[in-house]
Chain A
Amino acid sequence: GNSVTQMEGPVTLSEEAFLTINCTYTATGYPSLFWYVQYPGEGLQLLLKATKADDKGSNKGFEATYRKETTSFHLEKGSVQVSDSAVYFCALPGYSSASKIIFGSGTRLSIRP
Chain B
Amino acid sequence: DSGVTQTPKHLITATGQRVTLRCSPRSGDLSVYWYQQSLDQGLQFLIQYYNGEERAKGNILERFSAQQFPDLHSELNLSSLELGDSALYFCASKGTNTGELFFGEGSRLTVL
Contact = CB atoms under 8 A, between A and B. Distances in A.
A45 B90 CA distance: 12
Contact of A42 (B33, B48, B94, B105): B105
Contacts of B104: 43
Nearest to A41: B105
Interface footprint category on B: 20 to 34
Given A43-B90, A99-B31, A99-B56, A108 B100 contact: no
Interface of B: 2, 4, 31, 33, 35, 41-43, 45, 48, 50, 55-56, 58, 90, 92, 94, 99-106
A103 B36 CA distance: 11
A103 to B, nearest CB: 4
Contacts, number: 54
A99 B31 CA distance: 9
B103 A43 contact: yes
A66 B33 CA distance: 25
B73 to A, nearest CB: 17
B105 A43 contact: yes
A91 B24 CA distance: 23
Interface residues of A, number: 22
Label chain A's interface by main secondary structure. Answer: strand
A100 B48 contact: yes
What 3 A-B pairs are tightest by C-beta distance, nearest first? Answer: A43-B103, A97-B56, A100-B56
Contact of A44 (B50, B56, B99, B101): B101
Nearest to A107: B41
Given A32-B99, A42-B105, A101 B31 contact: no
5 contacts: A42-B105, A43-B90, A44-B92, A99-B50, A99-B56
A45 B33 contact: no
